Amino acid sequence: MIERFRRSWRVFGTGLTFFSIGLGGILIFPLLNIFIPARQTRAVIARHLIRLMFRSFVAFIHAFGVLRYDIIGLERLERQGMLILANHPTLIDVLFLMAFVKRADCIVKNGLWRNPFTHGPIRAAGYIRNDDGTELIEKCIASVRSGSNLIIFPEGTRSPADGSIALKRGAANIAVRAGCNVTPVFIWCTPRFLGKGGKWWQVPPQSVSFSIEVKEDIDIRPFITAAGNPAMAARYLTAHLQDYFSKERTRHAAA
């Protein structure tokens, strides 16, 4: 009986968190779009508000016992102009990263621009649309060079249920063309929670352990030197990142 109550309590806490995020998206951020016409000023304010809100939500779901979390290497995120590449096991990965990364920027799926709960915050913050075609990479490069910290999930979607990782080449292409080292972040969640195909109410019987490890930067210069041209350098870097994240997954799974 007690365990059933605790699980119901965690389901309630998870639902209330997502409801609060959606409510904030409808009530707060559209006002910024109306009353702050200057795009750059609006984006700075919106991103700061999003960070504060997500920090509150992280504290909220922790207090509800939905999960406990640990962040290793948090001090490495206290910089500007980073290209942060992370694996993507859960729906709340971006919530955690944007809660702890200052001046965060990200690439957003087109569907979220049409979602009434997320359209306001995304528009106010000036995040990058993933359907910008040939301009997408240029916008990403401009974001990093302007001092924003660009968060990318190079898998392009949440990891499958078996946890395997398959990276696309776009993130490496941005790193090579921007001349920006990669800050890899490995995220681990056990038991599985809010993974691909999972529903928010499918809360595990026990509290979830959520871990974020910010690793040392990966220097891209050796890949550029070895390749001789940007396209090949991006290919080499993608292969390296694929191996890197796969080994991290294996290491955490064996721990």
- For residue range 1-20, list pLDDT tens digits in order: 666 766 676 777 777 777 77
**CATH code of residue 130:** 3.40.1130
- pLDDT above 70: residue 138: yes
Provide the residue range defining the domain that includes 55. 2-254
Which residues have C-beta within 8 Å of that of residue 197, sequence separation ≥ 6? 161
Residue type, 76: R
What single-letter amino acid sits at 118? T
Total tally of structural domains belonging to the chain: 1
Nearest 5°: CA angle at 231, between 226 and 232?
Answer: 35
- pTM to 2 decimal places: 0.91
Which pLDDT score, from 0 to 100, does residue 118 have? 85
Tell me the pLDDT tens digit for each residue of 194-230: 777 766 567 777 778 889 999 999 999 999 999 889 9
pLDDT digits (tens, 9 = 90+) for 75-131: 999 899 999 999 999 888 999 999 999 999 999 888 788 888 888 889 899 999 887
